[in-house]
Amino acid sequence: MHLLAEEQLSAGADAFLETIRGMREPKALAGLADRWKNDPRPWARTMMQRYFELPFDQAGHQVVVKRLFKAAETRGDDAVMARCLMAFDRLVRRVRGRSFEWDRATRVMIQSEVLQTPRNVLAKTMSKYITPKKLEKFRLFKYRTRHYLQRRVWRYFRKLGFNDGSRYLAAVVPGLAAFQDADLAAGENLLDSWSLMHALHGESPAVEFSSLRAVLKEGRTLADLKPEPAFSQHWRTPAGVVAALELIVMAQSRLVRVWALAWHQELARTISAAPAADILTRMLAHDDEEVQSYGARLLAECADAASWPLETWLKLLKCENPRVAQLLCDAMLKHVRDERITLAQRVEIALAKATPIARLGLRLLEKTTPRDGKEREVITGLWRAQCLGIGGDIARWALAQLGTAEVYQMPAVCRFFDSANAGIREGAWAWMEQENSPGWPDAALWSRLAETPYADLRTRMIDALALRASKPPVGADDLAPVWTSVLLDVNRGGRQKLKALRQIAATLAATPNEKLLPVLVATVRSIRGPEARAALAAVMSLLARRPELESAIAAALPELVLQPAAETLLKTAA
């Protein structure tokens, strides 16, 4: 394993970290640690940061931890030291125990809850079975060493605070952000975190620092800890305000995140610093709704937002939180003029899942009218709208532009009936039932609807087909009752289908009609074998009489392949 680790270190393989953590020999680990700490490659520094993010649960790794830490401290590697801050703070974790004291006056045993180090608890339990010397081998570091490491890493950051405020902020923020919720699950975990307590509450009057840990003053509780960090003078600058916002976004622990939110609000009262669009975008995309709401509030108050490019606003509008989405829409209406938003961008906004954002997109679309075929093609993309609440309104507006007799095209309109959004399908059907709708007499559109997988649309279609089939023809050339009978029987079966199929085939043979051809295609795809065979025979008879329809039939039925021998046989029979 030692040779493998050396080879991986030389090659810069990420598997090196797992390999070295599996080693236990201190001498071999010392040699690898020396090579590792002197490696100038960025990969080596990244591996160091990842190493300190992992728990110290591998025996024999004291030499690796100490050598990497001292090397980072010597060369002033802020990124590695930030991980050491978090790693050493979580080395000290006291547990709650019970203390008993005899009261001579009342002759009663008084029980109280105290914090004890796990070393003392384990020693009391195992002292009968294991000697203290052997007991020390169960720990990676003695507690005296752990406290020393905590103090030493904070000394590094304290020097930065005295000498270079901007560098201190840039170094300490990643260290604070690295803490996990599990690291600070209980109140005593916060008090045991020496560097964290200094960084967050170093100037708090409610806490004092002993030689080992932070201690609450008499009569004070954790609730009295307000955001009063060490070196607050560096935080009370525009750069400090930005650092607080960065910490809000980066913090993995809720305790640190809540502290950063409260601290930024405190700073914002006296220091004016407009947040960058990138930070606000990350806040609005955060998993914590409290962070999203705070980001939306900052956006509404941001004076620089009026000069942001539209692409930035479109990124912000990806938010799916309804409460935050409404704040975003209000901010966009406040800062962005309608003339700046193109038709394609308005469609993109209307495709949002959050109702307020989709409603904003529809509101912007209602102020425009497509001028040519390209713009109508852009509007066709609204069939992908995700919002259920106003899906019907979006479909009705879109089809009012696409479904007029002058510009009607069946493929574009049919997409709205194929939408996975039930509201879009409902709006499309409302357009279909309008008076003089060009889709109502279109046999090709009805043939496509016959194949719909949506039960709500299928039910409405069957009811409408049954009503149309029962009405007498308007004129001698009106085949609506015929093709409606065919489509109706595709869905429920019927004895008149074969007769209707022959009528349609004869009509197509006499006068080619592209609108009737999809009806035959729909029947060919019937799940009922006899009906599908009858429709296929009708198609082949039509092809024999009208060879010029071969390309149209091939386009409608791509799965139908005609063999040359079969074509010759058909011509001979005809």
What mean pLDDT do residues 68-97 have? 92
Start-to-end Cα distance in the chain: 82
Range of lowest pLDDT (306-310, 445-449, 453-457, 506-510): 506-510
* Rounded Cα–Cα distance for residues 344 and 360 (Å): 14
Q: Which of 363, 182, 361, 354 is CA-nearest to residue 284?
A: 354
With cut-offs at 50, 70 and 90, classify the pLDDT of residue 280. Answer: confident
**Bigger pLDDT: 446 vs 501:** 446
Q: Would you say 400 and 431 are in contact if contact means Cβ atoms under 8 Å apart?
A: yes
Range of lowest pLDDT (45-54, 337-346, 501-510): 501-510
Decide: helix, strand or coil at residue 343: helix
What is residue 130's predicted lDDT score, i.e. its pLDDT?
Answer: 47
Share of the chain above pLDDT 70, in %: 83
Q: What is the mean pLDDT of the chain?
A: 83
For CA atoms 191, 195, 200, 204, give the dihedral sign. positive
**Bigger pLDDT: 539 vs 55:** 55
Q: Which of 381, 384, 347 is CA-nearest to residue 366?
A: 347
DSSP β-bridge partners for residue 103? 108
What mean pLDDT do residues 319-339 have? 83
Q: What are the tens digits of pLDDT across the range 202-216?
A: 999 999 998 888 888
With cut-offs at 50, 70 and 90, classify the pLDDT of residue 29. Answer: very high
**Bigger pLDDT: 405 vs 122:** 405
What mean pLDDT do residues 326-348 have? 88
With cut-offs at 50, 70 and 90, classify the pLDDT of residue 476. Answer: very low
* Rounded Cα–Cα distance for residues 475 and 469 (Å): 14
**Bigger pLDDT: 441 vs 196:** 196
Q: What is the model's pTM? A: 0.67
Neighbours of 268 (CB within 10 A): 16
What is residue 311's predicted lDDT score, i.e. its pLDDT?
Answer: 86
Widest distance between CA atoms in the chain: 124
What is residue 80's predicted lDDT score, i.e. its pLDDT?
Answer: 95
What mean pLDDT do residues 523-532 have? 65
What is residue 265's predicted lDDT score, i.e. its pLDDT?
Answer: 93
Main-chain dihedrals φ then ψ at residue 456, nearest 5 degrees: -65, -40
**What would the two tokens of residue 56 be?**
């110290």
Q: What are the boundaries of each domain within the chain? A: 1-75, 95-138, 444-574
With cut-offs at 50, 70 and 90, classify the pLDDT of residue 241. Answer: very high
- Where are any strands of DSSP class E within 206-254? 207-209, 214-216
Q: Any alpha helices (H) in 22-130, and if so which ranges?
A: 26-37, 42-53, 62-75, 78-89, 118-126
With cut-offs at 50, 70 and 90, classify the pLDDT of residue 291. Answer: very high
Q: With 60 as the cut, is the pLDDT of residue 572 above it?
A: no
With cut-offs at 50, 70 and 90, classify the pLDDT of residue 465. Answer: low
Rg (CA), the chain: 37
What mean pLDDT do residues 244-264 have? 95
Q: Would you say 187 and 196 are in contact if contact means Cβ atoms under 8 Å apart?
A: no
- The DSSP string of 452-484 is ---HHHHHHHHHHHHHHHTSPPSSTT--HHHHH
Q: With 70 as the cut, is the pLDDT of residue 569 above it?
A: no
**Bigger pLDDT: 260 vs 458:** 260
Range of lowest pLDDT (270-284, 369-383, 476-490, 533-547): 476-490
| Residues near 262 by beta carbon (within 8 Å), at least 6 away in sequence | 226, 227
- The DSSP string of 358-392 is HHHHHHHHTT----SHHHHHHHHGGGG---STTHH
What is residue 247's predicted lDDT score, i.e. its pLDDT?
Answer: 96
What is residue 136's predicted lDDT score, i.e. its pLDDT?
Answer: 45
Q: Which of 361, 354, 344 is CA-nearest to residue 324?
A: 354
Residues in the chain: 574
With cut-offs at 50, 70 and 90, classify the pLDDT of residue 324. Answer: confident
H-helix or E-strand spanning residue 2:
helix 2-11
What is residue 310's predicted lDDT score, i.e. its pLDDT?
Answer: 85
Range of lowest pLDDT (5-9, 12-16, 332-336, 542-546): 542-546
Share of the chain above pLDDT 90, in %: 43
Q: With 60 as the cut, is the pLDDT of residue 564 above it?
A: no
Range of lowest pLDDT (267-276, 296-305, 448-457): 448-457
